[in-house]
């Protein structure tokens, strides 16, 4: 049996377990004989991850849930393959993510970015159950609370487990946030609300979907909120902005015939 390298009690992250970067963070949460996975990453790493889980002496039959934090290809492309290897588990997602996944919306899933020549396969799978804010997932003795945290993507979940928050693509250790892209369904006002919720919570640790886990830091959250607040009134993210005050200034200057100074 392979030694289990727990990040926190009951929590194993499979990149950390492997001591190398395989893709997005894949969290295994376990209690008693039961366990679940949050995200699975790309299809080509699924078998390696499942082998790793087996080597850590988890019974594949005892996987209860396979949860999609959101519908992005880099988080869920391997779901179809994972379900083949873990047939007893339930595939769980937010209703908005289910819509994207089951309608084959490749643009919203970041599987198709024509302008950048990005086009990756998205094997179809169906979501077994949807969850919403306030729902709980039970794993052995552990109860995990579902949070809706839209913004980066519609239907993005975060999951609270005691003092830990599996925080998805809301914020990363360096203060970056998940990509803001109109075609992806990003919503800056909703994003700000999600970040405020994390900032104001008593969660102590954030376990993001990319990069290392880190302490919940109000200053870091606040600087991201301030940045996104500015984006609401800037052209940087195009139609994701609420307004662009420069155009009002320009209108006024046009009417008054103001020359460049």
Residue 210 beta carbon to Zn ion: minimum distance, rounded to whole angstroms: 6
Residue 67 beta carbon to Zn ion: minimum distance, rounded to whole angstroms: 14
For residue 58, what are the contacts with CB-CB under 8 A and spacing of at least 6? Answer: 28, 30, 35
Looking at the Cβ atoms of 148 and 169, the one nearer to Zn ion is: 169
Burial degree of 26 (CB within 10 A; 0-12, 13-18, 19+): buried
| Contacts to Zn ion by CB under 5 A | 169
Looking at the Cβ atoms of 43 and 169, the one nearer to Zn ion is: 169
Residue 62 beta carbon to Zn ion: minimum distance, rounded to whole angstroms: 27
Q: Which two tokens stand for residue 191?
A: 């994003």
For residue 148, what are the contacts with CB-CB under 8 A and spacing of at least 6? Answer: 94, 132, 133, 155, 156, 157
Looking at the Cβ atoms of 34 and 39, the one nearer to Zn ion is: 39
Residue 66 beta carbon to Zn ion: minimum distance, rounded to whole angstroms: 17
Spatial distance between the Cα atoms of 150 and 236, rounded to a whole number of angstroms: 20
Q: Which residue is nearest to Zn ion (CB)?
A: 169
Looking at the Cβ atoms of 41 and 160, the one nearer to Zn ion is: 41
Query: What distance separates the 2 farthest-apart alpha carbons in the chain?
Result: 78
């Amino acid at each position: 049996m392979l030694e289990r390298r727990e990040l926190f009690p009951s929590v194993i992250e499979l990149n950390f377990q492997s001591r190398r970067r395989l893709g997005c963070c894949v969290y295994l949460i376990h209690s008693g004989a039961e366990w679940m996975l949050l995200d699975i990453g790309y299809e080509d790493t699924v078998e390696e991850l499942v082998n790793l889980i087996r080597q850590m002496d988890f019974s594949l039959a005892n996987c209860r849930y396979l949860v999609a934090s959101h519908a992005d290809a880099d988080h869920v492309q391997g779901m179809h393959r994972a379900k083949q290897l873990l047939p007893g588990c339930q595939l769980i997602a937010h209703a908005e993510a289910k819509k994207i996944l089951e309608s084959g919306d490749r643009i919203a899933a970041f599987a198709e970015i024509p302008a950048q020549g990005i086009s990756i396969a998205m094997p179809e799978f169906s979501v077994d159950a949807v969850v919403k804010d306030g729902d709980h997932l039970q794993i052995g003795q552990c109860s995990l609370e579902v949070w809706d945290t839209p913004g980066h993507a519609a239907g993005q979940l975060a999951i609270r487990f005691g003092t830990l928050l599996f925080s998805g693509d809301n914020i990363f250790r360096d203060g970056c946030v998940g990509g803001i892209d109109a075609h992806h369904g990003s919503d800056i006002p909703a994003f700000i609300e999600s970040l405020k919720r994390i900032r104001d919570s008593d969660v102590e640790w954030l376990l993001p979907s990319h990069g290392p886990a880190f302490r919940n830091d109000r200053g870091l959250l606040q600087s991201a909120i301030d940045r996104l607040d500015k984006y609401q009134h800037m052209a940087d993210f195009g139609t994701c902005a609420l307004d662009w005050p420069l155009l009002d200034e320009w209108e006024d200057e046009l009417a008054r015939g103001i020359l460049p100074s």
